[in-house]
Structure 1
Amino acid sequence: MPQRTTTPDPAAIASGGFRVDPAAIPGLRKVFTTALVKLDKQIEMAVSDVRIRPWAGDPVSQQAATDFNDHTLGVDSALDALQAYQRQLKGALDALTQVELGYHAVEQDNTTLIQQGGC
């Protein structure tokens, strides 16, 4: 039998949402979790290992260190972008978890209805 495809809900797409096959959620959560673990390590390393100190103790090296640290760790920096991406990944993972919990709740409700002869 050919597999049926469904047309995505335009309202869900317009609002930034998407449909997820319940069977795909554990795999998606694993992929997002793996990406988040890798990103967390990179952010931790950036925070602890990237900052530089003025190497010559003079005003020029002080300014260079300040500029470098601001560019890599300050507002609108590479670290700032990584942390924004980290928040997005966490949000997506949280959303997948909520969707999965919702699917399980609906399945449990349906099972209970069937067992009670409600369908």
Structure 2
Amino acid sequence: MFVPDSSPRDGVTGALPPTEAAGRAGSMSVEPSAVPNLIEALQSSLDSVGVQIGHAVTELRIRPWAGDPVSTGTAEKFNERSVGGEQAALTALCGYRDRLQEAVDALRSVEREYRGTEESNVTRLHTGC
């Protein structure tokens, strides 16, 4: 499983020249025609991660199986590492979901900008201005 680090959020660029896009840390250049398919793929991943988060919240926690101090301590450690605290698997999964959502939002913004530019260009061609 890929777990993103906690570095500042990366941008996604669509209309930048390749040299400018390459100069931005964590950014990528995306051909405008590829944006809808990329959004769809990321949204599919986002939906899958959401399902896994739901399962983790409702089904991942364990109870002390023997009712003794050893199983109690083990259950507490397991739950802490899986669903509680900053280093928990659930925390990492939620961070991954948030990064996917940011990427989808950025691509949707790029797509809106691209469509607006294209509509303006078409209008200018038809009006001669």
TM-score range, shorter chain: 0.7 to 0.9
- Cα deviation for residue 103 of structure 1 reads 0.3
Within 5 Å, give how 1:53-92 maps onto structure 2: 53-74=63-84, 75-92=86-103
When normalised by structure 2's length, the TM-score is 0.79
Q: Which runs of 5+ in 1 are unaligned?
A: 1-6
Structure 2 residue 45 is matched with structure 1 residue 14: no
Structure 2 CA distance for aligned equivalents of residues 76 and 60 of structure 1 = 22
Question: Of the two structures, which has the highest relative contact order with CA contacts closer than 8 Å and spacing of 6 or more?
Answer: 2
Deviation of the 1:98 alpha carbon: 0.3
Tell me which structure has the larger Cα radius of gyration.
1
Aligned pairs (5 A) from 1:1-119: 8-9=18-19, 11-15=20-24, 16-74=26-84, 75-118=86-129
Structure 1 stretches of at least 4 aligned residues deviating more than 6 Å after TM superposition: none
Equivalent position SS for 1:102: helix
Count of residue pairs the alignment pairs up? 111
The answer to which structure has the higher helix fraction is 1
Identity %: 41
- Which one-letter code corresponds to 2:21 in the other structure? A
2:7 alignment partner in structure 1:
none
Provide the C-alpha distance between the structure 1 equivalents of 2:114 and 2:28, rounded to a whole number of angstroms: 15
Task: Map Cα deviations across residues 8-65 of structure 1 (whole Å, 9 max, x no partner).
Answer: 22x3223222221111111111110111111111111011101011222332222111
- C-alpha separation in 2, matches of 1:57 and 1:19: 56
